Amino acid sequence: MGHLSSICWILVLILIPAGSQAAVHQYTGDLFRASGDAYLYQGGREGLFHSSYNALLKWNSLGKGLNNGKAYIKFQHLVFTRPDYLAAEHSPQDSDTGLVEALIFELGDRDRVGYETPQGRALCCSEDLVQATGCEPGHVIVKPHVESEGYVDVGWPQVIDFRFQGNDTTLIANPAIDVPITKTGMYYLWYVICDRSLVGVNVTGMTVWKNPFGYLPGMMAPFETFYGFMALGYLALGAVWFMQYLRFWKDILALQNCITAVIALCMLEMATWYFDFVNFNTYGVRPYATTVWAVTLGSVRKTISRMLILVVSMGYGVVRPTLGGITSKVLMLGAAYFVATCSLDVMQNVGTIDDLTSSARIFLVLPVAVLDAIFILWIFTSLSKTLAQLQNRRQGAKLDLYRKFTNALAVSVLISIAWIAYEMWFKVTDQLNERWQSDWILQAFWQVLNGGILAVICYLWAPTHNATRFAYGDDSVDDMDEEEVALTKVTQAQSKDKEAATDSKAAAGKPSKSAVKTDVFSLEDDDVEEGKTE
């Protein structure tokens, strides 16, 4: 496990840039980039649930706490820095020598930001747009909700102004600013500079995004409860399995030892993910070490589970004692899958503290999908050969077992194909994550499906007093069909008839030593006859 964890750490260094490790969006001297008619810096994007009604009424009087009902975006230690030559253009007595605006809007209000012109969408107000929009030149164009449209929308989208003074090169935003969240939604934070001469500005500091229940981002929040239930589910499965394992430990097969290891890995992985999310939600911190450990466990579990299904499909321990020359091929495929899935999981989880997506994920999904396809093709090809071998050998019990296993895998593949189609439809029709509260189900489904397949395998290969009848080389009467039993009886009957014929011939002829040795029951009769003669 140590070597596998080292591989994941290497992937962390390659795939994850240095940045925030907490439930905050940290800015480390990042530059504003030109975007249309403005300089723009994207400060964050998260799904947030609305604050409780009581929290909104008693906002300032409520104490600090994880479950105090407050949901907000908090600006802390913000510092904007402009180049020295720009600051030198102003005197110390000048005021408002540069404007930076923080724009916060919910996804549903995106049409209220900016204005559509023949040249494209304008983000900043100019003299030409004053009459059309009623905006103030040099500021971001927004059309806030009015009171009649609903209390929770009043004042949104929100704009917070930060201004440079005199010839200062730095703008320090003090004190910390809280923006209460009054409506559930996907929120964006942009820092905007509409002054085109204010080039080269960078930002440091952080923003803290909190939900009413803690620091977990909205799209990640359901995973805390989900992994808790999954951990309990695997615990229950493990308890039943281990009881049977201990009860029939003398009849345990090598395959059942592999199943035991997979169950243990699943229990450990689910528990690690659960405590990772609990820690993140409670303290707002997601350390690399914990997440890398969870990712490593998950990658090992996925790899071993697929390899286990593959070797079971090949008939390992049932129709063949070893894998022989294909062992190296199975190991190579498993190693390739581990690296691919670990890379994907690292990108998705390690260092991920918000709901930002990455284009790199699409690139990393492809190798995993290809390797999964290879596993599926190899599994069903092997199952076909194993079923044919069992049918030719007329091993009924084993054949019935593998037919049930094949049917279960076929159903799981059909369900997977249907879910992939649904997932593609979901992503295509929701490119802006408007259904972000349901997004977690896409990932959770695969965990449930994997657990279901493992439960089926545990049921079919459960430890019992006669489990060894499925072992390689065990051709017991239970595995023989009626024709074999009938043929055995006929053969035994023919042998008895031949013995009877030989005995009758010996009795009809002269006594001889060979005749006496042929029938042990004739010894007593011969002795009696000898006694009478005397």
pLDDT, tens digit, 9 for 90 and up, residues 397-427: 888 888 999 999 999 999 999 999 999 899 8
The reply to whether 6 falls in a domain is no
Examine the domain organization and report whether 326 and 273 are in the same domain: yes
Task: Quote the pLDDT of residue 474.
Answer: 47
The reply to whether 117 falls in a domain is yes
In sequence order, the 6+-apart residues with CB closer than 8 A to the CB of 402 are 315, 318, 383, 386, 387, 390
Q: Which two tokens stand for residue 12?
A: 């962390």
Domain range for 127 is 24-210
Task: Quote the pLDDT of residue 485.
Answer: 40
Examine the domain organization and report whether 203 and 234 are in the same domain: no
Examine the domain organization and report whether 424 and 316 are in the same domain: yes
Task: Quote the pLDDT of residue 512.
Answer: 42
Boundary residue ending a domain (175, 210, 245): 210
Of 262, 254, 258, 255, nearest to 238 (Cα)?
262
Task: Quote the pLDDT of residue 10.
Answer: 47
The reply to whether 3 falls in a domain is no
Domain total of the chain: 2
Boundary residue ending a domain (161, 188, 210): 210
Examine the domain organization and report whether 57 and 172 are in the same domain: yes
Examine the domain organization and report whether 270 and 151 are in the same domain: no
The reply to whether 533 falls in a domain is no
Examine the domain organization and report whether 371 and 443 are in the same domain: yes
Examine the domain organization and report whether 206 and 352 are in the same domain: no
390-397 contacts at long range (C-beta below 8 A, 24 or more positions apart) = 390/315, 390/318, 390/319, 393/319, 393/475, 394/479, 394/480, 394/481, 394/484, 395/475, 395/479, 396/478, 396/479, 396/480, 396/481, 397/469, 397/470, 397/478, 397/479
Task: Quote the pLDDT of residue 516.
Answer: 39
Examine the domain organization and report whether 251 and 162 are in the same domain: no
Angle among Cα 460, 462, 466 to the nearest 5 degrees reads: 105
Q: Cis check for the bond before 175: say yes or no (omega within 30 of 0).
A: yes
Task: Quote the pLDDT of residue 476.
Answer: 43
Examine the domain organization and report whether 293 and 145 are in the same domain: no
Task: Quote the pLDDT of residue 380.
Answer: 93
Examine the domain organization and report whether 267 and 408 are in the same domain: yes
Residues of the chain scoring pLDDT < 50: 5, 9-22, 355-356, 358, 474-491, 493, 505-534
CATH of the domain at 449: 1.20.1070
The reply to whether 519 falls in a domain is no
The reply to whether 91 falls in a domain is yes
Task: Please name every residue paired with 320 in a beta bridge, in sequence order, or none if there are none.
Answer: 316
Examine the domain organization and report whether 117 and 228 are in the same domain: no
Task: Quote the pLDDT of residue 147.
Answer: 63
Task: Quote the pLDDT of residue 148.
Answer: 55
The reply to whether 85 falls in a domain is yes
Examine the domain organization and report whether 122 and 264 are in the same domain: no
Boundary residue ending a domain (459, 479, 499): 479
Distance CA 417, CA 425 (A): 12
Task: Quote the pLDDT of residue 155.
Answer: 82
Q: pTM score, two decimals?
A: 0.78
Phi/psi class of residue 351: alpha, beta or left (left: φ > 0; alpha: ψ in -120 to 50)?
left
The reply to whether 491 falls in a domain is no
Task: Quote the pLDDT of residue 491.
Answer: 47
